[in-house]
Amino acid sequence: MPHDHHDHDHLSPSGHPFREDNDTPLSYWQCMEIAVRELMIEKGEVTAAEVADQIGAMDSRSPANGAAVVARAWTDPAFKARLLEDASAASKEMGFDIGPLNLIAVENTADTHNLIVCTLCSCYPRNLLGLPPDWYKTREYRSRAVREPRAVLREFGVDLPDDVTVRVHDSTADMRYVVLPARPDGTDGMEEAALAELVTRDSMIGTGLPKSPA
């Protein structure tokens, strides 16, 4: 379906520009995607419905899933202990299936800040946060996060005091991380659902901090 190019400012509901796709010239790799998909279907390997369902599942995963897990950990100490012990199992307990990947939650505290990267490629806790942002997959982020994390964090607007230890976790296909951010001040007595609203995607990657209560 072609996009409407005349009725708005070319931003999607999520605030990002739409990717040019259906109405631009067919690229070699788009042609390959169609061919591979149709061959898979013809050979009885997959059905068109399975491909569509997979995309539906992908679209349903967003940082809101991770935020719900974080808010639960902020309000339920027993859950937090389980999350830090086995993040895959604790997430599953809340209905978020992590699949076969091994997920580790790392906790930010007053004296330690955690940052996640995949220097080799793009491994990311996608079952909990959705697909990774573009910058997560760039040469710049992957190269520098492990060498000068404080400088990288400053580019994200996070300026940590020198006495805060920064721990950088390099993900692999078999081991992925999610940051459990520190609960912001001034949130005593807040409900779990309201707390989840404060948890941003970047705060769970470590490149940001949770929002402060309004």
Partner 1 sequence: MSDISETARRWHDMGGDPAGEINFDEHDFALWEKRVDALMILGSARGHFTVDGLRRALEDMGPEAFETMSYYERWIASVNQNLIEAGVYSLEELAAKMEEVQARGDTYGAAQDV
Active site residues: 118, 121-123
Q: What DSSP letter does each residue of 112-180 carry, written as one string?
A: EEEEEE-SSS----HHHH-SPPGGGGSHHHHHHTTT-HHHHHHHTT----TTSEEEEEE--SSEEEEEE
Please report whether residue 2 would count as binding partner 1 according to CB under 8 A.
yes
Stretch of 79-87, 103-111, 129-137, 178-186 contacting partner 1, by CB under 8 A: 129-137
Are 119 and 143 contacting, i.e. CB atoms less than 8 angstroms apart?
Answer: yes
Please report whether residue 134 would count as binding partner 1 according to CB under 8 A.
yes
Work out which of 107, 133, 150, 182 binds partner 1, going by CB under 8 A.
Answer: 133
CA distance 193 to 67: 9
Nearer to partner 1, 4 or 163 (CB): 4
Work out which of 62, 75, 135, 213 binds partner 1, going by CB under 8 A.
Answer: 135
Nearer to partner 1, 119 or 187 (CB): 119
First vs last Cα of the chain: how many Å apart? Answer: 40
Smallest distance from the beta carbon of 207 to partner 1, in angstroms? 9
Report the relative pairing of strands 165-170 and 112-117 from DSSP bridges.
parallel
Are 191 and 71 contacting, i.e. CB atoms less than 8 angstroms apart?
Answer: no
Residues binding partner 1: number (CB under 8 A): 62
Smallest distance from the beta carbon of 162 to partner 1, in angstroms? 22
CA distance 199 to 71: 8
Segment holding 195, helix H or strand E: helix 192-196
Work out which of 20, 111, 162, 163 binds partner 1, going by CB under 8 A.
Answer: 20
Interacting residue ranges for partner 1, rule: CB under 8 A: 1-2, 12, 14, 16-27, 29-40, 43, 45-46, 50-51, 54-55, 58-59, 117, 119-122, 131, 133-135, 137-147, 152, 155-156, 170, 173
